Amino acid sequence: MTSTKQDKEPKEQQEDLLQQIKEELTKLQARIGPRFRRAEVRQRAHRFLEGLLTDIPRKNGWQMAEHLGESGPRGVQRLLGEADWDEDAVRDELRTYVLESLGTLRDCSSWMKPDF
């Protein structure tokens, strides 16, 4: 008996999706990691991205720090405001990753139209 997506329970489907997301996040981190000059900053950036994908209701400095297991927001604030990383290169790499994953903007235009 083979298992298909339709045969799986919702919980199993959710677990599979979370595993796929984790794998994609690891791939993305491998791509943008070199843009962060220090290992500590690379690690915090990785944890920060993971935090953005959680169900934390408010993603402010305090909430993110708490999720990351830090005692206060200073590390998160330092990552975003003062750490030594190439923001333009990360932005460009993220854009490339998204376009590779979703296709060109022309390919996505039918489902990306604003609904207002």
Render pLDDT for 75-104 as a digit per residue (tens, 0 to 9).
999 998 999 999 999 999 999 988 888 775
User: Residue 5 domain-assigned?
Assistant: no
pLDDT at 68 over 90: no
Position 6 scores a pLDDT of: 60
User: Residue 108 domain-assigned?
Assistant: yes
User: Residue 7 domain-assigned?
Assistant: no
Count structural domains, the chain.
Answer: 1
Position 3 scores a pLDDT of: 54
Q: Exposure of 103 by Cβ count < 10 A (0-12 exposed, 13-18 middle, 19+ buried)?
A: exposed
User: Residue 21 domain-assigned?
Assistant: yes
**Confidence tier at 114 by pLDDT (50, 70, 90):** low
CB half-sphere exposure, 91, CA atoms < 13 A: 3
Percent of the chain with pLDDT over 70: 81
User: Residue 61 domain-assigned?
Assistant: yes
User: Residue 4 domain-assigned?
Assistant: no
User: Residue 101 domain-assigned?
Assistant: yes
User: Residue 9 domain-assigned?
Assistant: no
pTM as predicted: 0.69
**Confidence tier at 110 by pLDDT (50, 70, 90):** low
Position 77 scores a pLDDT of: 92
pLDDT at 116 over 60: no
Q: Containing domain of residue 78, as a range?
A: 15-112
- Of 109 and 32, the structure prediction assigns the larger pLDDT to 32
User: Which of 67, 30, 29, 58 has the alpha carbon at shortest distance from 45?
Assistant: 29
